Chains A and B, each alone.
Chain A
Amino acid sequence: MAFINKNHFWPGIILFLLIIPLITNSNYLLSILIIIGLYTIIVQGLGILMGYAGQISFGHAAFFGLGAYTVAILTTRFHSPTVLALLGAALLPGVIAALIGRPTLKLQELYLALATLGFGLLVHIGFTEGMELTGGPSGIAGIPYLSVGSFVFDSDIKFFYLVAGILILLSAGIKGLIESRVGRALRAIRESEHAAETAGIDTAALKLQAFIFSALLAGLAGGLYAYYITFISPSPFSFHASVQFVLMAVVGGLGTFVGPLLGAAMVVALGEFLRWAIPVVIPNAGGEYQIIFFGLILVVLMIFQPEGLGALGKRLKPATQKLPGEGYSTKIEAEKEGGL
């Protein structure tokens, strides 16, 4: 990537993404990009939790689902304003994450993974069995479109720009976060939790904040998902989805800036590609062939690029520019000007 002018790279990518709807009128392509965008929101939060706080959550599909059901229930049963319902969709998972995280994050290693695993399964059962509130297996239909004032997000193009806008703001926010005092502490925890503690960082509190932040984002994505599909049922929020989110985070590359987008795009696009390609190559093949090839491709990818797709750029750069294990450049320039 050394031949690309760094200053033009990101604006170029963003510009390209923004004109996609203008050069295609395929709703299929747009809908895939929107779903990738929504997953990217989830994986960005999960990436902070996994890449910096060093914790794994196997329950993010539950937060995603709680966001979606919050929007569905608030808008269809209580006719709440759509923006308010979206706010609730982010807040509820955040509060629940605080309740789960407080006791489990003080413990080491895999306690959060186990707690979120159980929580995810429970919530999914709740969606399926809570007939009166959640509509059971058949879900909730008739969710209205998101509207801000008199502007209604009622088409794929409008929704695409909404998700793109949220992603750009979120990415800028996360970049700022990682370069801030808190981000520096998160990077220190990633490096050595023991040393971070002796430097006076309250590691348990920071991990809890990272967990709450990731749950908020999953809830926000869930709320947006409900407004986009306008119908929800329990199936997209199963344990399988939680594993997929973790997969996206790892394939994309933990602790890298573009990792979440690349990971979500890779997993979604690969799934769609195999769904098309397998029947062409192997006629009469069942769905299990897709899963086999999906797994194979990801295994090969992780063998040759264990740091994830987001770290590919670093590999292509000349070795002299490489900082070991550094996904972000430090904020020295800004600190120089602003007196730290």
Chain B
Amino acid sequence: MLLSIKSLNVYHGYVQALRNLDLDVKKGELLAILGANGAGKSTLLETLAGLHRPAQGEVMLEGKPITGKSPDYIVKHGISLVPERREIFNSLSVLDNLLLGAFHRYRSNKGTLSDDVAEIIDIFPALKGREREPAGTLSGGLQQMLAIGRGLMARPKILLLDEPSVGLAPMVVKEIMSTLAQLKNSGVTIILVEQNTGAALKVADRGFVMERGHITLGGTSQDILSDSKVQQAYLGRKRMQTAAAL
């Protein structure tokens, strides 16, 4: 097991955001975490990235505990978060943003960093030629690609993505999702938090539905897609089915 989460409990002040959450992630998987606002999806990713310290529970990466470690330790050991709302560095150039993703290995890998940047530009060709522009001048879709690129520059074993589709045109969402599928095929394990259930399950191997801090439903993407509750609550299929039955 690449990542194993056991009975994780996380609080925001007095509010419990994660309740006894268990999750196992295999190498090379693409997981989709679904659920309504406030279900604890972002908290889960941020806890894995070291931004929240769990009250109880354990997170093991390749059999070693990383529970409660600092964000820089966790990035160094192979988990990289692409945060909600992208949070790129607007006034810094696209190139600087990418290089910051490789902050922890900048000294040791200095010679190969330009190759790594070229590789990211290959994955997101739309960024080509804009390396020197301030990242804040990019469109929303390009900013999201840059945020993913910055995450990849850390050379993570696991890439965490928090709602990459927010505020983007359907075409761009499609492009980003197919890029995620490519990344998965190249061996990166991905945990994807999404409100866009349909788009996420199309590329995911497995899906999990979170409600009030824990996972209430889990299975292959096919299982989740055909679950009647998911169809009702997240895909809005009920009316369509009723219409078909008539």
A residues sitting closer than 8 Å to B (CB atoms) are 181, 184-185, 187-188, 191-192, 194-202, 323-326, 330, 332, 335, 339-340
Contacts and interface: CB of A to CB of B under 8 A. Distances in A.
Nearest to A191: B89
B114 interface: yes
B136 interface: yes
B92 A191 contact: yes
A197 B72 contact: yes
A181 B12 CA distance: 34
Interface stretch (B57-65, B105-113, B178-186): B105-113
Contacts, number: 96
A199 B150 contact: yes
Interface residues of B, number: 38
Contacts of A184: 92, 96, 99-100
Contacts of B88: 195
Contacts of A330: 92-93, 95-96, 132
B49 interface: yes
Scoring A198, A330, A335 by chain B CB atoms within 10 A of each residue's CB, the highest score goes to A198
Contacts of A339: 110-111, 113-114
B70 A202 contact: yes
Interface of B: 49, 51, 70-72, 74-76, 80-81, 83, 87-93, 95-96, 99-101, 103-104, 106-107, 110-111, 113-114, 117, 131-132, 134, 136, 150, 154
Contact of B136 (A197, A200, A324): A324
A164 B206 CA distance: 65
B90 A324 contact: yes
A324 B91 CA distance: 6
A269 to B, nearest CB: 31
Contacts of B90: 191, 324-325
B115 to A, nearest CB: 9
Nearest to A332: B132
Nearest to B110: A340
Contacts of A335: 95, 114
A201 B92 contact: no
Contacts of A200: 71-72, 74-76, 80, 101, 103-104, 154
A323 B91 CA distance: 7
B92 A198 contact: no
B89 A332 contact: no
Nearest to B109: A340
Contacts of B99: 181, 184, 340
B129 to A, nearest CB: 13
20 contacts: A181-B107, A187-B96, A188-B100, A194-B51, A194-B83, A194-B87, A195-B87, A196-B100, A198-B49, A200-B74, A200-B76, A200-B80, A200-B104, A201-B72, A202-B70, A325-B90, A326-B91, A330-B92, A332-B131, A339-B113
A199 B156 CA distance: 11
A257 B99 CA distance: 23
